């Protein structure tokens, strides 16, 4: 029966199969890697006296409500030696009052502020620089005012990784989104895929970014690479682009346990997620290295797979070639099952939502949405808004 295939059917089916194999490679080799890494990893047991002192740095701008809600989760960590430094970035709300009240309660908490004359300077980078210079410890851990650790052992997970000789450690930051929020499932999926890409590459010793909601690094790296001066002219990039420049291949680790997660509940609308995500997409054009570009092949092969799947089904029906039609349906089904399984395993690991029939729609829409977000970020940076 195979000799009844026309040349066009052979070509169409062959390219479809090639795209299918490329897709399977990415899903099983890259996207599944964080789950597989954590599953096989042995628990690191480190006595408290061997854990290094850590400074947690948070910057805040008009986030009094979030600080009041999240600071206790950061300060009340189960860790032997740490401090928390909050840098007030010229807030006009009750941030200063919240911090002064918290300092009365917590001896580990210190706060400073960005001077008023710093207007026009890259405020976030200046705030982080002040926090880093104020830190008394050699290891730094970063999160945001609108984030909180998911467990009291958050700092300890980083501390254990630092004892293994790691100089940069990357973590996962989940989204806590109300079920009433529109496009909730898509935002959870987008956040999950975003993390799986850079975490998988970090595990493979090809780190290319990190996110400021959950990362840590050795203080000496900041001064070794002259702080943020190489990227001071760029809006943003103090986390992802900075890690892209400084992360050592063999000394970059990841923390993937439930206890290492942070979460944010500030994403209440799709526009909030657009603002949060678009900054990374804008910075991406300045990344160095090749590893992050590999995912462009995944995106291209994905869209080509979907297109050829539709064409193959149509051709199979028109020519009454049942083998071609069934083969295309089988490839689609196998890819979907593999994708669903990989996403589900990682989602359970990171508590990042549930996915079923909606998965192909998110899969198709996510890269297109990234393009929209990137255009939005470019336009915003050009206009200064």
Mean pLDDT in runs of 10 for the chain (385 residues)? Answer: 76 96 98 96 86 97 93 96 95 92 94 76 88 97 96 97 97 91 92 97 96 97 92 86 94 96 90 88 89 94 98 93 94 98 97 92 94 85 61
pLDDT of residue 374: 87
**What pLDDT, on the 0 to 100 scale, is given for residue 2?**
57
> Chain-centre distance of CA 302, in angstroms?
21
Q: So what's the pLDDT on residue 119? A: 59
Domain assignments of the chain as residue spans, ordered by start:
15-33+293-383, 46-290
Would you state the pLDDT for residue 152?
97
pLDDT reported for residue 335: 98
Q: What ranges in the chain are assigned the alpha helix state H?
A: 7-25, 33-40, 64-75, 95-105, 123-134, 154-162, 184-203, 219-224, 240-246, 270-283, 294-318, 322-350, 359-383
What pLDDT score does 233 carry?
82
Q: What was the pLDDT predicted at 120? A: 58
Q: Which residues contact 328 (CB under 8 A, 6 or more apart)?
A: 13, 16, 309, 312, 313, 316
What does 245-276 look like in DSSP terms, one character per residue? Answer: HH--GGGEEEE-SGGG-EEE----SHHHHHHH
User: Residue holding tokens 């050009």?
Assistant: 382
In this structure, the number of other CB atoms found within 10 A of the CB of residue 41 comes to 11
Order of all β-strands in the sheet with 109-113: 109-113, 82-88, 54-60, 139-144, 215-218, 168-171, 252-255
Q: Which fold has domain 46-290?
A: Spore Coat Polysaccharide Biosynthesis Protein SpsA; Chain A (3.90.550)
Q: What is the pLDDT of residue 1?
A: 56
Distance CA 97, CA 360 (A): 48
């Amino acid at each position: 029966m195979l000799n009844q295939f026309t040349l066009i059917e052979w070509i169409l089916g062959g390219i479809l199969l090639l795209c299918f194999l490329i897709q399977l490679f990415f899903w099983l080799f890259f996207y599944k890697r964080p789950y597989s890494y954590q599953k096989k990893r042995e628990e690191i047991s480190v006595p408290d006296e061997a854990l290094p002192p850590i400074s947690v740095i948070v910057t805040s701008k008009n986030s009094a409500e979030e600080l009041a809600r999240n600071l206790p989760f950061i300060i009340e960590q189960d860790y032997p030696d740490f401090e928390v430094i909050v840098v007030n970035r010229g807030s006009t709300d009750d941030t200063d009052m919240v911090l002064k009240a918290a300092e009365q309660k917590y001896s580990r908490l210190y706060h400073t502020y960005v001077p008023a004359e710093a207007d026009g300077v890259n405020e976030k980078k200046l705030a982080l620089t002040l926090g880093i210079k104020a830190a008394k410890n050699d290891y730094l851990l970063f999160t945001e005012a609108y984030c909180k650790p998911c467990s009291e052992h958050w700092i300890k997970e980083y501390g254990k990784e630092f004892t293994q000789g790691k100089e940069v450690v990357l973590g996962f930051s989940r989204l806590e989104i109300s079920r009433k929020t529109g496009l909730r499932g898509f935002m959870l999926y987008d956040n999950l895929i975003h993390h799986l890409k850079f975490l998988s590459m970090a595990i493979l010793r090809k780190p290319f970014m990190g996110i400021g909601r959950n990362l840590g690094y050795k203080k000496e790296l900041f001064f070794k690479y002259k702080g943020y001066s190489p990227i001071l002219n760029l809006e943003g990039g103090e986390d992802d682009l900075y890690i892209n420049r400084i992360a050592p291949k063999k000394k970059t680790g990841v923390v993937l346990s439930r206890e290492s997660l942070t979460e944010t509940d500030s994403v209440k609308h799709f526009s909030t997620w657009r603002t949060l995500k678009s900054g990374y997409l804008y910075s991406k054009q300045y990344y160095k290295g090749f590893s992050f570009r590999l995912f462009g092949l995944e995106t291209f092969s994905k869209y080509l797979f979907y297109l050829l799947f539709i064409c193959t089904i149509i051709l199979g029906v028109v020519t009454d070639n049942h083998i071609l039609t069934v083969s295309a349906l089988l490839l689609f089904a196998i890819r979907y099952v593999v994708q669903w399984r990989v996403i589900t395993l990682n989602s359970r690991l990171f508590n990042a939502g549930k996915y079923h029939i909606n998965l192909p729609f998110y899969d198709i829409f996510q890269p297109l949405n990234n393009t929209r977000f990137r255009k939005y970020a470019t336009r915003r940076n050009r206009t200064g808004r």
